[in-house]
Structure 1
């Protein structure tokens, strides 16, 4: 009996250890109006930076950059994994680069999001191994309307898909077996998938698929979700009076938009199969990213059929193994595309944005207004003055505030503001108060306010309880009023600048007198960065 009890006890320990490992594995969970990333059993805010495409291909290039990440207050790096280097020969894997990235990140107290540069990177198949590229008969390419081959693997080839799936599955299995501390927290599947020069592929297999009936899986989804489809897709479908049978042109009409919808379905199916193969080995959260059509050109003049906002329904129904559709930002339309990407219950994660000073204001808005999971400027290692970068100062504040941000995410008690010379003021409602947030230059106190092109500024505001607020950011002026009455005024009872140290508030200066304009407002000047905790009161 003793032996049996020992066996039972050991079995219980084994089960407990397995369950504990699963609990610690990163995952996404619903939180109020959005989703949160859970790492080591706790909510996690990604304050990231993406490496330039080629930096991670060399251990020598990586060695000097780790100190920059610490100086910039990052907690996560986004690093490519190159198919051509991971599997240089068919049947041969080399995990040297991957293992070194993970090991060095762990040593520097950083998490890692891996970017799978597989079949497609910025539309092209430039990271496919040589043994794939040089065997066109086995691994066919996409073609244009003249049947000319493109430097793009065909999404209609089972051989292409099988090769990508197999490599990605081995990668995920390797991470599961070697990354016991869960340094890797998410994975990007492919990179900026999209068809170029054409809206869709013109191979014989693609043409046959185009002439077949729209898959019943998609048709059933469209019928069931007709009233909640993104407007762009619903409008395209309406052109055939919402036809529910026939091939792609029967259902969506004859147009480049139809070609793009068709291609999106097959790109999404391909990406989903790759993701599913990886998740079958190790089920980390996975996302895909998109190159945006901000110039308003036709499909094929931008990367057609990627996980774009007007194709969200297509991607979501075709790729259930993909957790998030993400925008890459290299355009001035930040609010517009964030709005578009938070439709269809899609949480916002910004894995790539041009590395520039405005990032430091945009990150406050993304996290405060959209409850973003994370943010990541591109080529983060390219700076020579990491401590002086505006994003470093923003990340310093956000890393201090992370426990509060994550506590209030999805609760309706947190907001973000983004301001510039065209959008100088924004009003937000939190509880019984209206907060009027204006650009610092609206005060007219700075001589730079007379110059055109004001710097982009922003902040995050959290309502801790009825009268208590946290305001953090740069270049803003905040005034308060009581909603629904002109007879009762809101006053600033006290305001303290300070820091969070190990999650606990440490007040610094009392921001009275000139610092709050004798009780008129809360101010964080342009080029300054701070956190203020504010207590209001009401008087007649």
Structure 2
């Protein structure tokens, strides 16, 4: 930690970080292979104990795999740079919900939504096989994600480090279940009725049977994990937003809307479940 103080004021401990330039398939020397890349984290943790956080600049396509690699050895996920293509909004939600990230900062934020230059395309690793890696992030949707997370920040921060806050994303299709004690959610992304491919779902448990969810481009299927009460149903399903820390319902869902919980755009939900024999 670096200690910072002004005359007559309190002393603050600021964490020290080290950015990491990742291997993009080049030979050592073309990138700093001796830097704090994940396969050298043990060396850095031993030789540079004053560095609190090793932070990857993520422009490679295997984003989720990199996040996993940089959360070993108690290293918190701190992303000081990442690309601004159409995966960035869902990745923001995923890193907060799944890894409890302490920083997520798209590079060139002021240019978000604009067409990529040749330099940006090279830097961002634009992949012609994935249209979302060629397409800039929708600015209004990114604003919605940030405002929604900011409005929930006190609750999210309280759940950091616990199983009460989880997330899944379409980029990791084989991990689409979230378990919360006697309840769980199956999140379905690859369905004919879902046209978008930027699906994500964050779930925050606030009581045994009540959850807030951020959902986009997915279908939700809650289930019971209690063998004594294997069936599950809804007591309430609401759309809404937070204002001054309070939930504001804008629409109550029922009928077909609750029977098939399919969300084609970013949506904040409050859901209350019950299980029975």
Q: TM-score higher than 0.5 here?
A: yes
Give, in whole Å, the separation in 2 of the partners of 1:418 and 1:533: 19
1:509 aligns with 2:251: yes
CA distance in 2, matches of 1:300, 1:415: 38
Q: CA deviation at 1:341?
A: 0.4
* Mapping for residues 133-532 of structure 1, pairs under 5 Å: 176-177=5-6, 283-295=13-25, 297-383=26-112, 388-420=139-171, 423=173, 426-439=176-189, 442=191, 444-445=192-193, 449=195, 454-483=196-225, 485=227, 488-517=230-259, 521-525=260-264, 528-532=265-269
Structure 1, gaps ≥5 residues long: 1-26, 28-168, 183-280
Contact 1:350–1:376, Cα closer than 8 Å, also in 2? yes
Please give the residue correspondences for 1:69-88 in structure 2 after superposition, counting only pairs within 5 Å. Answer: none
Scaled by the length of structure 2, the TM-score of the pair is 0.82
Q: Distance in 1 between matches of 2:113 and 2:267?
A: 24
Q: Give me the whole-angstrom Cα distance separating, in 1, the residues matched to 2:94 and 2:112.
A: 23
Return the offset for 1:515: 2.1
Change (3 A) 1:536 1:282: closer
CA drift at 1:511:
1.4
Distance in 2 between residues matched to 1:468 and 1:283, nearest whole Å: 37
**Which has the larger Rg?**
1
Query: Structure 1 residues 473, 399: CA separation in 2 closer, same or farther (over 3 Å shift)?
Result: farther
| RMSD across aligned positions (CA) | 2.7
Asked if the contact 2:152–2:242 (Cα under 8 Å) also holds between the matched residues in 1, the reply is yes
- Cα deviation for residue 308 of structure 1 reads 0.8
* Alignment correspondent of 2:272: 535
Q: Quick one: distance in 1 between partners of 2:98 and 2:15? A: 23
Cα 1:428–1:294 change in 2 (3 A) is farther
- 8 Å contact from structure 1 (residues 434, 481) kept in 2: yes
Q: How many residues align?
A: 254
**What secondary structure sits across from 1:423 in the alignment?**
coil
CA distance in 1, matches of 2:158, 2:261: 23
Q: CA deviation at 1:433?
A: 1.7
Measured after TM superposition, the shift of residue 345 of structure 1 is 0.5
Inter-partner Cα distance in structure 2 for 1:383 and 1:369: 24
Q: Secondary structure at the match of 2:177?
A: strand
1:534 is paired with a residue of what secondary structure? strand
Q: 8 Å contact 1:413–1:464 — kept in the other structure?
A: yes
Q: Distance in 1 between matches of 2:250 and 2:110?
A: 33
Q: Is the 8 A contact 1:349 1:374 kept in 2?
A: yes
By how many angstroms is 1:384 displaced? 6.6
C-alpha distance in structure 1 between counterparts of 2:112 and 2:176, whole Å: 32
Q: How many Å apart are 1:294 and its aligned residue?
A: 3.7
Q: Output the CA distance in 2 between the equivalents of 1:533 and 1:355.
A: 29
Q: Give how far 1:425 is off.
A: 6.5
Decide which structure has greater helix share: 1
Distance in 1, Cα, partners of 2:211 & 2:141: 24
User: CA offsets, 1:213-241, max 9 Å, x none?
Assistant: xxxxxxxxxxxxxxxxxxxxxxxxxxxxx
> Which TM-score applies when normalising by structure 1?
0.44
C-alpha separation in 2, matches of 1:383 and 1:428: 31
CA–CA distance in structure 1, aligned partners of residues 162 and 13 of structure 2: 28
Unmatched tracts of structure 2, length 5 or more: 115-136
